[in-house]
Every structure is written in C-alpha cells, then in structure tokens.
Amino acid sequence: MIYRLAMIDPKILRDKFYSSESFDGVEIHGAHGYLIDQFMKDQVNDRTDEYGGSLENRCRFALEIVEAISNEIGADKVGIRLSPFANYSESGDSNPKALGLYMAESLNKYGILYCHMVEPRMVTVGEKSDSPHSLLPMRKAFNGTFLVAGGYNREDGIKAVAENRADLVVYGRLFLANPDLPKRFELNAPLNKYDRETFYIPDPVIGYTDYPFLGSTN
C-alpha cells in the first residue's frame, strides 16, 4: 500500500510509517492543483520570495518535501505524482514541458523510487484531449522507475511499456470499477463501466465497493 502525502510533518509521517505494517511507501501528491502543484505553476504562484518567480524557485517547495520525506523513511520508499500539463482548479503553467523536465532531472538527486506523471492529454478532470506534448523527454531524463497515468486502456498501456515510454502504467477509474482489473487485463475480459456520478459521494459502498468481480452477478 502506498501512503499518499499532500503535506505533513515528515517526523509524524516517519512515526506513522514505522508503526504500521500497512504501508510500503509514500507517494507525494504534487499534482492536480493541490498545494505542492500550486507552488510549481506560474499561473497561481505569485510569490516574490525564494519560492516564487523562477522555475527553480517555484519547484523548491516540492523538492524540499521530497528531500525531507526521503531523509525520514528512505528514498527507496518515496515516489511523487506530478501533472505539469494539467490545469486543475486554474493551476496551469506557461511552459509545462520545461516544468516537467526540470522536475524529472532534479528528482535524480534524491534517488527516489519512482516518478509518476499524468499524461498531457489529461488537462482537466475526466477530460481526455489531443495534445502535441509527450512525457517522453521526462521519461528519458528521470533515472528511476517512470510511471504514467491518464486515460489509458489495456491496449494503450501495453503499447506504452512495449515502446519504452514508461516502466509502469497506472489505472485509477478502471481499477475503481474493476476490483480484479489485472485478471481482466490478463484475460482481455470485458470491463465494468465506472459511474462518475458516484465518485465523490459520501456513501462508503455505492460506487466504491459494489462493482462486481469477473463472473459475479452481484
């Protein structure tokens, strides 16, 4: 299990991490318009101190978090999710390619386990669009395991790995609707369709644990 981090005291995280056998690692959530992402994007970061202005300054906060968490629990247990091309909550960037490339290169210093990037085609929530951009430069720049996500189906994922555009492909919505997704992919079996209207409702069952397994009628 990966413990996803938006922002937390690294010492608290260390205590939580080592007091539980449930966590294999930490994924720092530096994507989709959340706090860390806002620091990196020039559309929303208007700071005038050492955390604003230049690309290096805007990425400083994210990299300091990577360093702090790595120092506490070990870099081999740390990953980060980034969406340089996304414009969630109006948090876009004027040069997303440069941003993504800078982060990919800078992360090598810390030796973290993986870098997880969202495809340029996923600009906003749930919308897949054509994009002239590619994650390939970031993939080549990062020395560790490179993960990609965003609008992938079975065939796209197989192709991405076969063409060495990624080491691993991440599935979110398809996994939510298909608790046995690896088995379905292995058999090339039909998939349950996810219901987006249930994604954010407070019910603990509907839309979360009520999707049937392969061969089940319930």
Catalytic machinery residues: 34
Sequence-ordered list of residues with C-beta below 8 angstroms from that of 43, at least 6 positions apart, any chain: 87, 90, 91, 92, 93, 94
Q: Cα dihedral sign for 46, 120, 77, 184?
A: positive
SS3 call for 11: helix
Q: Is 21 within 8 Å of 75 (Cβ atoms)?
A: no
Nearest to 33 by CA among 138, 146, 118: 118
Token pair of 90 as six digits: 């109006």
Rounded to 5°, angle at Cα 145 from 68 and 12: 25
| Tokens 């056998």, located at residue | 21
